[in-house]
Structure 1
């Protein structure tokens, strides 16, 4: 099982089914299998049909449709799980480190290790966001912004650093994906060091050559794509 499957917010099969009847436990296991398969399938191809998810999960298509009426609902569920994981990581690192720069770096590392941002960006524009997703996204943005602002106000970041630089760092790091999961994690950590050092306050550093992405530019990716 990949890191993303382990950390996407679902409990392990053993924990989630403890104390449940046989039929209910089977339903929980099926749901876990469907979501894990959906993450893997849609990371490869967001346009893949739900039949590919059912096949990868080893369940019948009817079992999938009993849980998720259509692909739209399945994608919404995956995105919501990813945002909840993001929020959990942000809450865990919001005041875990006395040094604001270290707290920011460990927060970024936690999101990259959870591997939820890559799937969220991959799914952007392929479905219609719900009000619940809007609320979760807003909460995630507030928490992440607080961690960033604490580091900025402490003077540990370069003056032209911007909170919208952080999503770009997530994307660059989670784009690193090898067949060897351990090597993938090691390389992501290597380049996390490189990128975060680039944001660290340094009197000798020049000015960055372009402004950060705007909220509008980041939000454009969530506009439904033609044919999605």
Structure 2
């Protein structure tokens, strides 16, 4: 399963001053929540209020509990992942360029940091399960299109991409700019290893859906 990231909301309809301020406050809360829970999954929701610079009562008016806030973060991240996958599928350009761009955009969005930090710490609801299943279907389409174009090395499976994204999300060095630079450095190396070459067979099987999804069980 994929549960990931944050997503800024936009609207084509101008909002009133009060609604616009509420939307900005919501983004501040969500960004603070992401920073707090990626660093410490066990942190209390009061730490989010402190990081966001809002009162705890104001936060509770928007999110009645920590699990609701975590589900919102993950839902926004799934929507972002889905949007990037749909963009890749709509692109009729060079297959390798499209695939590599999709990989870079997901890494840039840092969509897997929450997976690393939060898997198994809260209970996903039915909405998250539906969004995750949709994201997985689209990821499979992106992967199969690249594979069918003959640009990927033999033995590679779509589940390998999830593990690659998580490995890159674990890279944290210095500030955000340096971290992003390092992630792109290692993504470039990994992309070279994914491309069809004369390389030998990969050792061991890819991760199964059960192995990936099992981490989200709180039992």
TM-score by length of 2: 0.91
Please, which runs of 5 or more residues in structure 1 have no aligned partner? 1-6
> 1:206 and 1:46, CA in 2 relative to 1: closer, same or farther beyond 3 A?
same
> 1:119 and 1:17, CA in 2 relative to 1: closer, same or farther beyond 3 A?
farther
Q: Does 1:213 align with 2:207?
A: yes
Q: Partners in 1 of 2:117 and 2:94 — Cα distance? A: 33
TM-score by length of 1: 0.88
**1:9 maps to which of 7, 12, 34:** 7
CA positional deviation for 1:54 = 0.4
Q: Which moved more, 1:191-200 or 1:92-101?
A: 92-101
1:76-125 CA-to-partner distances (Å, cap 9, x unmatched) read: 00000110010111112223252222222111111110012212332221
1:28-63 CA-to-partner distances (Å, cap 9, x unmatched) read: 232221111001000101110000000000001001
- Does structure 1 retain, via aligned residues, the 8 Å contact 2:6–2:74? no
**1:118 maps to which of 106, 113, 120:** 113
Please, which runs of 5 or more residues in structure 2 have no aligned partner? none
Q: Which has the higher contact order (CA 8 A, sep 6+)?
A: 2
- Does structure 2 retain, via aligned residues, the 8 Å contact 1:101–1:151? yes
Q: Partners in 2 of 1:125 and 1:88 — Cα distance? A: 25
Aligned residue pairs total 215
Question: 1:86 — aligned with what?
Answer: 81
Question: 1:4 — aligned with what?
Answer: none
Cα RMSD of the aligned pairs, angstroms, is 1.9
